[in-house]
Amino acid sequence: MMIESDPDHPLDPVIDLSGLTLRRGPRTVLADLSLQVGPGEIYALLGGNGAGKSTTLAVLLGFLAPDSGVARVAGVDPAVAPDQARRQIAYLPESVALYDQLTAHENIAYFMALAGSEPGPDIIDAALDAAGLQSEARTRRVGGYSKGMRQKVAIAMAVLREVPVLLLDEPTSGLDPRATADFNALLGRLKARGTAILMVTHDLLGAADCADRIGFLAGGRIVEEVRPAEGIDVMALHHRYGEVAAA
């Protein structure tokens, strides 16, 4: 699935949120949130604690249904058909937890089997190569892995999924600069493959390095959107971002 990406003229959006509103008791968590991510596009959603980042992911994954508005993942409404929607999504949680008693290989084989595909050992190796996990670690049980190593296993899984959507939850938190660079390179390859990537993060610098667009989330809606490619004043954004997050 190789699609020529043109961030300025997105094809049919793969991730399509329109007018999402979600209330939790008296609190409005999402307030008329609209957001489109096209194939081969990386969108970073920035926001402080409680801005609605995790809620947005939960809606996309079908764990929460919005009170109004519609979400679509590759054309599927996760509120209506969560299983079907999830089949279109690769997901990288903030802190990757795996089965400690299995090796990296076995973990990937198991989770991929759950998702309905059975990649051979060579394919898994290739994915782990791409994710940058040292080959001598791959036959060890993941119980002894560092956070970064675990994340690489999860990234390898995301690569293997070959689905149109990748959701990332604080992907670079806890990674050292070198691992972050590897990770960004990997994202670039997925982007080239045409994957629509949505990451939520509070790391503006990290987002500016890899995202096509950055949306600032506050009070459940996007208050500003910028394109790093057009040249941005990171310091000014950082200053504003602080204000936005506080608002």
Partner 1 sequence: MSLWSHELRLFLRQPLAAPLLALLLLLASASVWAGLAEITRQHAAIDRILPQQAADEAAVAAWATREGDAGNVAYYTHYATWDRPSPLAFAALGQRDVAPFVLRIRALALEGQINESEAYNAELALPGRFDWAFVLTYLAPLFIIVLLHDLVSSEREGGRLLLLTVMARSETALWVRRVVLRVGLVILTLVLPLAVGGLLSGAGQPILGMAGLAAAYAVFWALVCVAVGRFRLASVTSAATLAAVWLIMTLVLPGLALLAINAAVPVRQGVELTLAQREAVHAGWDKPKEATLAAFFREEPAWRDTAPMRSGFHWKWYYAFQHLGDLSVAEQVRAYRAGLERRNALSGRIGLLLPPVGLQMVLHRLAETDLVAQLTYQDRIRRYHRELRHFFYPFLFREQPFGPADFARAPRWRDSADTPRPPRPGA
The residue ranges that bind partner 1 (CB under 8 A) are: 61, 63, 83, 86-87, 89, 91, 93, 95-99, 101-102, 106, 109-116, 118, 154, 157
For residues 163 and 111, is the Cβ–Cβ distance under 8 A? no
For residues 174 and 183, is the Cβ–Cβ distance under 8 A? no
Nearest to 158 by CA among 194, 138, 184, 128: 128
Q: Which is nearer to partner 1, 102 or 232 (CB)?
A: 102
CB of 19 to partner 1, least distance (A): 25
Place of tokens 């609605």: 52
CB of 21 to partner 1, least distance (A): 24
| End-to-end Cα spacing for the chain | 41
CB count within 10 Å of CB 100 equals: 12
Rounded CA-CA distance 146/160 in Å is: 21
Sign for the CA dihedral angle at 196, 197, 198, 204 comes to negative
Q: Which is nearer to partner 1, 87 or 240 (CB)?
A: 87
Rounded CA-CA distance 57/126 in Å is: 28
CB of 76 to partner 1, least distance (A): 14
CA distance to 44, 124, 195, 207, per residue, from 181 (Å): 16, 22, 19, 12
Q: Which is nearer to partner 1, 30 or 160 (CB)?
A: 160
CB of 203 to partner 1, least distance (A): 21
For residues 74 and 14, is the Cβ–Cβ distance under 8 A? yes
For residues 170 and 194, is the Cβ–Cβ distance under 8 A? no
Q: Which is nearer to partner 1, 68 or 139 (CB)?
A: 139
CB of 75 to partner 1, least distance (A): 18
Q: Which is nearer to partner 1, 4 or 118 (CB)?
A: 118
CB of 147 to partner 1, least distance (A): 12
Q: Which is nearer to partner 1, 107 or 172 (CB)?
A: 107
